[in-house]
Each structure stands twice: as structure tokens, then as C-alpha cells.
């Protein structure tokens, strides 16, 4: 089945407060067969194109903003992804990506309504609601989203760490292993070469890991003394090697800025560790608040030996965590009380 590329899906702007047409037919979407769903998406895209042609009040400059984001991986949404999603989720991604959700600022532009944020006295763009509201920050809305993404990342890193630590130190060579079980007269099977261990973790078996979730992370004193609390620290005492990583869930066009800021924050700590004989690597990671995963995050995962299917699954999972949490923050934009989900 033909893939719907990111540009096909998110490049279409939905105007006004009408919203994604699929939202109204949510129960229908749930029951629809594959071909019916395909028809519905095509229909929706057509409808949006029409709306675009007839609307005059909305700035088209917004459309295609995402093509100028830097440091982010191209994102593919194919039919398979769409089938699994709720119509309201699809609607949110498309409209959030193009910044055409009915934020107070957009409603002001479209209908002259009050542009003020419901939580603080600032004009509320989508960017403000999702990443810049001081009240939201104080209430812990952004920390909650950050931790939702971090939990998924940490789970992947933890299972990688465990897998590496439980491997025999040297992969058994083909001379000593499977051929010993071949009976006489039996044909020797073509042993596939032992899968090479990839990733920088494969050099040791005593990896430890701390995550700044649940309980406050205290940086391992054997490496350096600091009050800084990175999100994840992975280290091997035998190798004297440490990975310091810090996750940010920024507005997509601020990804590079976030990267530089975090890199700078940990430079001194890395230098301290190096002075004590440790090899220290600082990995700032970003996952955009609308689900676009930064190249920096993928670099870390690959360096730690996460590839192929596992890498794709991880990207999808963290992207979904960011996007769903942002959708929740969006839905709660008018509630002065913050109640998060799990």
C-alpha cells in the first residue's frame, strides 16, 4: 500500500475552528474497514484543500513551517500508523504541526477574540500553551510530559543495559559452539557468523544506570562531585566510561537551541570527570513537543547499540508519548487546575 509521506499528511491546513472532519465521525472511523478509512482520509485531505482555497482570513505563511525545522528527523506517517490512531489524535498532529489549532492567538486573528492565555496574562499562541506558559510550568505540566517521554526512553535503555550486562564477555566462536552437536554423517550447517555486538556499551559488562524519575538523581560520587541532575547517567566502573544525557521536549523550531544549552550546562561536569580519569560523553536529547524526534536522540540510541526494528519502535514510542502528552496539555489549556493522566 502506498505510503502517505509526512508532507502529504501534515502539509494540509485545516482552517477555522471546524476541526478535522474525521473527529465528528469518530465512531464511524473506529468501525471503518481499511478501504473505508483510506477513503475517509483522502476525502478529508480534499476537504481541507477546498477550505484552503476559499479561506481568506488566515495567513498561509503558517503552512509548511515544519519544513524549516532543523535538527529533526523526517517523520513518516504511513497508512499503518493512521489505522492504529484515533481520529482525534490524527487531527491534533496535523493541526498542531501547522499551528492552526484554535489557540487564543489564532482565534484572535480569525475572529477577533481575546488572545489572552486562560492561565496567565500573556497572549497565548500554541507555542505558549505547549512550551512557554509560566503557570503551566509551575504547575508541572511540562515536567509531567517530559517524564512521560523519559520513562519510555529509560525503559529502552534499561533493557539494553541488562542485555549487555548479561552477555558472555566474548561471543562464543563458531569453532567451539554449535558444530559440537553435529552427529557424524550429518551435514555441517552453515553457521551464520555470530552477530557482532554493536554499540559502545559492548565493551563492558558492569553498566550501571540512574534515571532522574521517581527519586532525585544523585550524580555518582565515584565519577564527579556535582549538584547537577542529568536525566540519565549510564556508567561502567571497569571501563571508566560515562554517558550523561539530558532530555528536553521543546517546541520543534527550538530544538537546536535546547541542544546547545544542555551541552553547555554539562561541559564542566564532563571536564571534571575527565580529570578524574573518566571518559565522559554528554548527550543532550530532544523530542519535539509535537512528536518530532531530533537527530540527537537517534544518535544516542544508535551509539548505545539500538538499531533497526528496535530503533524504529523506540522512535515511534517516544514520539507518541510527546504528542499524546501535548494533546492532553492542549485539552487542559483552559483548566486552571492541573490534573494529569497516569
Binding-site ranges for Zn ion (CB under 5 A)? 117, 119-120, 122, 133
Q: For residues 82 and 117, which CB has a smaller minimum distance to Zn ion in the complex?
A: 117
Residue position matching grid coordinates 496535523: 94
**CA distance to 70, 112, 131, 247, 341, per residue, from 135 (Å):** 28, 24, 11, 21, 18
* Spatial distance between the Cα atoms of 143 and 333, rounded to a whole number of angstroms: 16
**CA distance to 162, 206, 236, 296, per residue, from 239 (Å):** 17, 9, 5, 24
Kindly state the cell numbers that stand for 185. Answer: 554423517
**CA distance to 197, 231, 243, per residue, from 282 (Å):** 22, 11, 6
CB of 340 to Zn ion, least distance (A): 17
Q: For residues 122 and 317, which CB has a smaller minimum distance to Zn ion in the complex?
A: 122
CB of 130 to Zn ion, least distance (A): 11
CB of 116 to Zn ion, least distance (A): 8
Q: For residues 129 and 273, which CB has a smaller minimum distance to Zn ion in the complex?
A: 129
Q: For residues 82 and 119, which CB has a smaller minimum distance to Zn ion in the complex?
A: 119
Q: For residues 96 and 117, which CB has a smaller minimum distance to Zn ion in the complex?
A: 117
**CA distance to 107, 150, 218, per residue, from 227 (Å):** 44, 20, 7
Amino acid at each position: 500500500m502506498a505510503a502517505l509521506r509526512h508532507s502529504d499528511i501534515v502539509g494540509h491546513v485545516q482552517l477555522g475552528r471546524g476541526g478535522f472532519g474525521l473527529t465528528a465521525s469518530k465512531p464511524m472511523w473506529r468501525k471503518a474497514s481499511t478501504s473505508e478509512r483510506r477513503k475517509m482520509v483522502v476525502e478529508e485531505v480534499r476537504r481541507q484543500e477546498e477550505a484552503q482555497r476559499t479561506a481568506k482570513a488566515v495567513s498561509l505563511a503558517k503552512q509548511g513551517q515544519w519544513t524549516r525545522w532543523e535538527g529533526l528527523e523526517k517523520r513518516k506517517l504511513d497508512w499503518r500508523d493512521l489505522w492504529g490512531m484515533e481520529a482525534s489524535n490524527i487531527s491534533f498532529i496535523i493541526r498542531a504541526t501547522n499551528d492552526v489549532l484554535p489557540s487564543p492567538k489564532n482565534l484572535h486573528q480569525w475572529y477577533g477574540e481575546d488572545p489572552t492565555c486562560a492561565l496567565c496574562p500573556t497572549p497565548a499562541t500554541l507555542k505558549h500553551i505547549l512550551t512557554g506558559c509560566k503557570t503551566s510550568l509551575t504547575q508541572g505540566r511540562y515536567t509531567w510530559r517530559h517524564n512521560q517521554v523519559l520513562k519510555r526512553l529509560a525503559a529502552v535503555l534499561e533493557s539494553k543495559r541488562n542485555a549487555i550486562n548479561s552477555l558472555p564477555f566474548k561471543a562464543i566462536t563458531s569453532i567451539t559452539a554449535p558444530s559440537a552437536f553435529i552427529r557424524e554423517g550429518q551435514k555441517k550447517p552453515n553457521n551464520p557468523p555470530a552477530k557482532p555486538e554493536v554499540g559502545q556499551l559492548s565493551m563492558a559488562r558492569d553498566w550501571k544506570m540512574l534515571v532522574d524519575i521517581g527519586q532525585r538523581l544523585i550524580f555518582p560520587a565515584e565519577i564527579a562531585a556535582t549538584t547537577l541532575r542529568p536525566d540519565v547517567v549510564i556508567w561502567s566502573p571497569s571501563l571508566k566510561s560515562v554517558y550523561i544525557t539530558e532530555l528536553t521536549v521543546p517546541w520543534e523550531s527550538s530544538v537546536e537551541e535546547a541542544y546547545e544549552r544542555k551541552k553547555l550546562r554539562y561541559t564542566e561536569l564532563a571536564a571534571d570527570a575527565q580529570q578524574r580519569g573518566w571518559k565522559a560523553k554528554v548527550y543532550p536529547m530532544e523530542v519535539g513537543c509535537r512528536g518530532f524526534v531530533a537527530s540527537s536522540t537517534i544518535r544516542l540510541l544508535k551509539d548505545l547499540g539500538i538499531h533497526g526494528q528496535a530503533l524504529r519502535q523506540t522512535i515511534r514510542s517516544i514520539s507518541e508519548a510527546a504528542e499524546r502528552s501535548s494533546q492532553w496539555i492542549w485539552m487542559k489549556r483552559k483548566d486552571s487546575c492541573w490534573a494529569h493522566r497516569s
